[in-house]
Amino acid sequence: MKVTYDPETDTLTIRLRDERIKESDEVRPGVIADFGYDGGIVRFELLNASKIVERTNEMQFAVGG
């Protein structure tokens, strides 16, 4: 999994796996889901991320035990 933030476009991208994208769908205003050729989710894109994410320059990651 890879998370990137582009300050120029104010877009946060959460890539779950490395697959080619077949189609994209705006599932909610400002939230785009990208799907692979197998129909599974490949990544999410959050538009206007600085209005949604509190701190775009840092990330916390937790794994449940």
Q: Count H helices, E strands: the chain?
A: 0, 5
Domain ranges of the chain: 2-51
- pTM score, whole prediction: 0.83
Residues of the chain with pLDDT under 50: none
Produce one character per residue of 26-49: b if its CB has 16 or more CB atoms within 10 Å, e if not.
Answer: eeeeeebebbbeeeeebbbbbeeb
Q: Are 19 and 43 in contact (CB under 8 A)?
A: no
